[in-house]
Amino acid sequence: MNEENLDMFPEELSVGEKRNALAEMVEVLSNTIASLPLDEKVEALNEAREALHSVSPFKNEPIDFVRWISTDAVHANDYNPNSVAPPEMALLEHSIDHDGFTQPVVGWQESDESYEVVDGFHRTTVAKRSDSVRERLLGYMPIVAIQSKTLTATTALPRPSGTTGREESIKLSQCQILLSSLKTQLVRYAHRKRAGYGPG
């Protein structure tokens, strides 16, 4: 955005008059974007959000600018330590399918056309592989871009306190599997008890 466009209203206009003029401009912008084909519409929305982000009091916070990126432009990293059991992946897919994306994927912007996942590997997997999610999101996914890759291995991937590496992630996954199995057994026990059978 050019600096001369930052304050395009005459100085004599009041704050209220400027806000009314902005509301009219927003309506025109919204109607124009709505008339565009899908890819151009998404690109225009991203450009509008980026322009607003540049003047936002929260512009130093990455979450202030969530952009929609084609899933084909997003790829996994090669250091993700987390291993999620199939039941948990199915639960994640069910959650995103029914509740939508409530948290964007964090990505390192390699170029205008490519993003590497920093945090959100499994959400990315769902966005890419789930037919229902991919259809609803029209082949796009929400990304918060960071400019420095140094965040990747140190702070963006949460680990249990005092643990590091794939060994602890595998242990965590095994615990998740065990809990899932225990839940299944408890459900079976409840059904048998309700039906008048003993524990089996």
Residues 153 and 77 placed together within one structural domain of the fold: yes
Residues 122 and 172 placed together within one structural domain of the fold: no
Residues 153 and 169 placed together within one structural domain of the fold: no
Residues 95 and 169 placed together within one structural domain of the fold: no
Q: Tell me how many domains the chain contains.
A: 3
| Segments of 23-113 assigned E as strands | 67-70, 74-75, 105-111
Q: Residue 6 domain-assigned? A: no
- The model's pLDDT over 5-56, given as tens digits with 9 standing for 90+, comes to 446 667 778 888 888 888 999 999 999 999 999 999 999 999 999 999 999 9
Residues 170 and 147 placed together within one structural domain of the fold: no
Q: Which residues of the chain have pLDDT under 70?
A: 1-9, 79-82, 148-178, 180-185, 187-189, 191-200
Residues 133 and 185 placed together within one structural domain of the fold: no
How far apart are the two ends of the chain, measured CA to CA in Å?
Answer: 70
Q: Using alpha carbons, select from 146, 136, 141, 110 the residue that is nearest to residue 123.
A: 141
Residues 104 and 24 placed together within one structural domain of the fold: no
Contact between 98 and 135 (Cβ < 8 Å):
no
Q: Residue 187 domain-assigned? A: yes
Residues 154 and 170 placed together within one structural domain of the fold: no
| Enclosing domain of residue 154 | 66-158
Neighbours of 8 (CB within 10 A): 11
Contact between 101 and 141 (Cβ < 8 Å):
yes
Tally of residues, the chain: 200
Residues 81 and 103 placed together within one structural domain of the fold: yes
Quick one: tokens of 171?
């242990």
Domain harbouring 93, CATH code: 3.90.1530.10
pLDDT of residue 144: 95
The rounded distance, in Å, linking the Cα atoms of 146 and 9 is 33
Q: Residue 1 domain-assigned? A: no
Residues 42 and 122 placed together within one structural domain of the fold: no
